[in-house]
Structure 1
Amino acid sequence: MAGTMGHRLAELIAEYEVPGAALAYLHGGELHEFAAGVLNVDTGVPVTPDSIFQIGSVSKVWTATMLVQLAEQGALTLDTPVAELLPEFRVADPDVTKAVTVRHLLSHTSGIDGDLFLDTGRGDDCVEKYVQACADLAQNHPLGATQSYCNSGFVVAGRILEKLAGKCWDDVLHERIVEPLGLTHTWTLPEDVLRFRAAMGHMDGKPAPAWGLMRAMGPAGLICARPADVVAFARAHLEGGLLEDPQAMWEPQVDIPNPHTLGRQWGIGWILDEWDGQRIISHGGNTIGQHAMLWAVPGTGTIVCVTANGGHSGAFTHALATELFAELDGLTVPPTLAPPATPVEVDATRYAGVYERAGAHLTVSAGDGGLRLRMEATGALAALDEPQEFPLVPVDETTFVGRVPGDPAWISAVFYELADGSPYMHLGARATPKTS
């Protein structure tokens, strides 16, 4: 496979309209690296294995790892209330302010509205200012009641690291992970990244209107790295080097209501799944026109990281993983959920309505043709994301799939209720309450 992977990578990026991609994988103790395409369609600079891409939310596993390090060292426990570590911390619900713990943050079970993207400046105090701005954040769901992806919670987690270390998150990252592992191509600030061959994100085939997110989002998603460095980070989780007991991060914390998107459960930082009886730990990341995926198989020692800078990147990384893991470990990557061969008749009118959370306004309408979903981004990133509307096809009584126009990938939505009967839709790893 290693001999043909470079050629196959080039074929796949062409098929999925990805400008450029880099791949690194560890198998049998040997590292393999490949690259294809260009970093920027306007400059034509080729991608090399050492090119740096934004790994987005894969950064969350790094932030979680550092907090688990502190737990192992006795500075906190995962069940320590955030307010004990950050007395200034506030959200809109005073009971949540008092009770939310580090574990809630790292397992996406806090219920805090998670998609507050806020520019609080470029200074070393940007994360501190972001946490101050969380005082008005409402709840997506009651504390611990379900799982909903929470960027905001990971910025708060990053602030805990800053407070205990007395330095900014970027410096804590270098001190606790980058330097101990000897990573040479892992950075967080653009002035450092531009010293290397750096990828530009693309949207609709053109360079994105902005290179990166606001600095305050660092702990949730601003690490930039070459794939080999990301593989080295994951290798330390399998073989040791960062934690006394890395497997503690693989313990399931919550079932994901929609298991068809990322995996079945969330651990501490890691997404958890099982393929052909093998435990899989993983995480993905998306920024402005960039995408990354990291998978590790503890039972075989295989680790794969792939990065991409646009196009149908989610479908691309899934196709690559499907081929690669079949070849390397004989594992079947679960196919993306798609419409059933035989249409399913479902009375779905009860799901019609408006579902809303920070960053998203979702409208489900019912008509003769079934359900339709309209997705509208709100907040700071709305200008980068045009509203999308498409039919939802039933798979069973609660599960539906649809496709954004022009995108080959199916996305899944699960309608469900909390223990108190509150109706929710789980889409894109996020729980969104029905508001009308």
Structure 2
Amino acid sequence: MKLFVLISSLLTTVAFSVQAQKNSKTTDQIPSIDSVLNQVLKDQHIAGFAVAIVKGDEVIYSKGFGYRDIENKKPVTPNTLFAIGSSSKAFTSSLVGLLEKEGKLKLDDKATSLLPQLSFYNAEMNNQITVRDLMAHRTGLSRYDYSWLLFNTANRDSIISRVKYMKPTSGVREKWYYNNFMFLAQGMIVEKISGKTWEQNIKEKFFIPLEMTRSNTDIKQFENDSDAALPYVTIDSTNKKIDYYNINGMGPAGSINSSVNDMANWLKVWISGGNFKGKNILPSSYVGEAASSQMVMDGGLPKGRKDIYISNYGLGWMLSSYRGYYEVEHGGNINGFSASVAFYPTEKLGVVVLTNQNNSQVPDVVRNSIVDRLFQLKPIDWNGDAKKAAEAVSKNNKSKKKEKNIVPNTTPSHQLKDYVGDFETPAYGVVSVTNEKNGLYAQAGNNRLYLKHVHFDVFEPKDVNKKGVVDTSSSENLFNFFSDNKGKISGLTIQLDPDKEPVLFTYKPKIKVLDIKLLQSYVGDYELGKTIIKVYLKANTLFVAVPGQPDYETLVVDDHTFDIKVLKGYSVKFEILPSRKVASLSFIQPNGTFVAERKIN
């Protein structure tokens, strides 16, 4: 199971030659830049990328390199569409900034007051967290990315409802934690106040006035575009095409698809302080706030380079000092695509780099290589450093593969059919396990997975693409099933984050509806020693009443077995005589089974 937005692999792959485009813009202000970018394309072994450079209100360079479609050798152009991922966040926060300008909210308003669907883990968070906290990633909630990556849906209310089950890692404003759900919340606030979808707002407020005619927020429109890049991931020095990822419900966090020519117009707005071709697009006050520090990301001390430091976050932007220049930037990574959008306010310079390589170093390498030359700094060999880093990661990954600890000659503890069912945790969603053609498969959101047996009750998930082809590469997101005291499969854990504890998914019994006559046959009094236990019906649901205890609602397991809803591991089973009459009731508990005979009136 590979969710490429989170994978840190920086392996290299086969290079493709630079494709010079007729509609590219170049300038002599960037000495030898084409040869540098050519070398990046070759050394980083990627499919392709595109670059645009803005100086003031003019695009001084725009060009495509390599291929948007390797198999058919279709070149990248400055108008080629790429998914920009989290570089979309500045757009979403800017919609909130426009609402503040219109007097419809304040950035320091309580977030839950503006969006009733949003609820946090505890009352303190509900009362403290403001819209600004959402915008600056300072709620204390860590990423929880697998919650939406694996269990995405078009229903935004459904996704945002998971937040209340997400335990914070720190107190509010104590520490910076990146969290995509907080940008979904901003998008939903915009929808609620404006009465229009986030997608409509993005189009009306930015795409149309900024003449971003190539840009969209729709995966189908993206896929069907005649000049759209295909997504690739690099595995063992080979570019492998993967499926597009439909962000849909989580769109406000990163669903914009654009070209470098279109994104150049977006950069012009920020460089100018909010304007485009004489029209005001964003309030200058908001531009200043968004590009100013709102939260410290980390210590920001120089690491390896003494002239690169500071690590802060604004509103949808990351802030740092790059070799003596104030840098405002945000990257983007989504399955098969990487991006960097940056501007330098004091120099009125902007650079956008988009590539169709998953989790790529290329946007950073290209941006820094360009800026070094434009600012007439002694160039750093960013490309060489990235190449060495990729080789080190590749070597490390190969070493990890050899270290896999697999216990040989083991088998699952149950028949495959016993693993079938739905497993749920409220902060994430439901994993549905099925037995097909003598193999286990899992469905998590839109993701179909084949579960390959590793050892004991541990299985390794393998992606199954839209054509039904099973991915052969390895995954660390292992599924580990476990049983209850009765020996029945009762849950599973999934190692979603290698640095955290596995996430527990509990077996979710399917709701079975029994005939009312069968249910009525269970109703009556049962004797357990001197204790009389009553079984009764309420709204077609069977209840068990034990003296001195609350009445227990039951859930149907099969025709004669019911689980106690509020007590895990507790169930009741009715014994049926050949005459179809109920003879007794057995309480099945962790400490034993207790039989209550039916009382004959």
Q: TM-score, normalised by structure 1?
A: 0.73
Map of 1:117 onto structure 2: 148
Q: Out of 254, 257, 271, which is 2:318 matched to? A: 271
Paired with 1:312 and 1:133, the residues of 2 have a C-alpha distance of 27
Is the 1:41–1:207 Cα contact (8 Å) retained in structure 2?
Answer: no
Alignment of 1:267-346 (within 5 A): 267-310=314-357, 313-314=360-361, 316-331=362-377
Higher relative contact order (CA 8 A, sep 6+): 1
Map of 1:10 onto structure 2: 38
Aligned residues: 353
The answer to whether the aligner puts 1:197 opposite 2:244 as a matched pair is no
Alpha carbons of 1:333 and 1:61: their partners in 2 closer, same or farther (altered >3 Å)?
farther
The answer to whether the aligner puts 1:230 opposite 2:263 as a matched pair is yes
Alpha carbons of 1:207 and 1:324: their partners in 2 closer, same or farther (altered >3 Å)?
same
Paired with 2:245 and 2:73, the residues of 1 have a C-alpha distance of 20
Is the 2:312–2:318 Cα contact (8 Å) retained in structure 1?
Answer: yes
Which has the larger helix fraction? Answer: 1
Alignment of 1:72-91 (within 5 A): 72-91=101-120
SS for the counterpart of 1:109 is: coil
The residue identity in structure 2 corresponding to 1:319 is V
The residue identity in structure 2 corresponding to 1:166 is G
Alpha carbons of 1:172 and 1:28: their partners in 2 closer, same or farther (altered >3 Å)?
closer
SS for the counterpart of 1:186 is: coil
Query: What displacement does 1:8 show?
Result: 3.6
Alignment of 1:7-406 (within 5 A): 7-27=35-55, 29-31=57-59, 32-114=61-143, 115=145, 116-117=147-148, 119-122=151-154, 126-193=155-222, 194-203=224-233, 204=235, 205-239=238-272, 240-241=274-275, 242-244=281-283, 245=285, 246-257=287-298, 259=300, 264-310=311-357, 313-314=360-361, 316-331=362-377
Is the 2:212–2:262 Cα contact (8 Å) retained in structure 1?
Answer: yes
Paired with 1:94 and 1:383, the residues of 2 have a C-alpha distance of 40
SS for the counterpart of 1:164 is: helix
Percent identity for Structure 1 against Structure 2? 23
SS for the counterpart of 2:329 is: strand
Alpha carbons of 1:307 and 1:82: their partners in 2 closer, same or farther (altered >3 Å)?
same
Which structure 2 segments of 5+ residues have no match? 1-25, 276-280, 390-426, 429-443, 448-460, 464-472, 477-496, 503-601
Alpha carbons of 1:262 and 1:162: their partners in 2 closer, same or farther (altered >3 Å)?
farther
Which has the larger strand fraction? Answer: 2
The residue identity in structure 2 corresponding to 1:278 is Y
Paired with 1:28 and 1:102, the residues of 2 have a C-alpha distance of 31
Which moves more between the two structures, 23-32 or 291-300? 23-32
The structure 1 segments of at least 4 consecutive aligned residues displaced by more than 3 Å after TM superposition are: 1-8, 118-122, 205-209, 258-263, 331-339, 379-388, 432-435
SS for the counterpart of 2:346 is: coil
Paired with 2:314 and 2:198, the residues of 1 have a C-alpha distance of 22
Is the 2:335–2:358 Cα contact (8 Å) retained in structure 1?
Answer: no
Alpha carbons of 1:184 and 1:262: their partners in 2 closer, same or farther (altered >3 Å)?
farther
Alpha carbons of 1:262 and 1:186: their partners in 2 closer, same or farther (altered >3 Å)?
farther
Query: What displacement does 1:434 show?
Result: 9.4
Query: What displacement does 1:208 show?
Result: 4.3
Which structure 1 segments of 5+ residues have no match? 340-357, 360-378, 389-429
Paired with 1:234 and 1:185, the residues of 2 have a C-alpha distance of 16
Query: What displacement does 1:216 show?
Result: 1.3
Alpha carbons of 1:332 and 1:229: their partners in 2 closer, same or farther (altered >3 Å)?
farther
Map of 1:362 onto structure 2: none
Q: Deviations over 1:215-242 (max 9, x none)?
A: 1121111100001222211210121222
SS for the counterpart of 2:54 is: strand
Query: What displacement does 1:258 show?
Result: 5.5
Paired with 2:92 and 2:137, the residues of 1 have a C-alpha distance of 13
Superposition CA RMSD, Å: 3.1
Query: What displacement does 1:83 show?
Result: 1.0
Q: Deviations over 1:51-107 (max 9, x none)?
A: 000100000011011111111221111111111111221122232123211111110
Map of 1:373 onto structure 2: none
Query: What displacement does 1:191 show?
Result: 2.5
SS for the counterpart of 1:237 is: helix
Is the 1:263–1:271 Cα contact (8 Å) retained in structure 2?
Answer: no
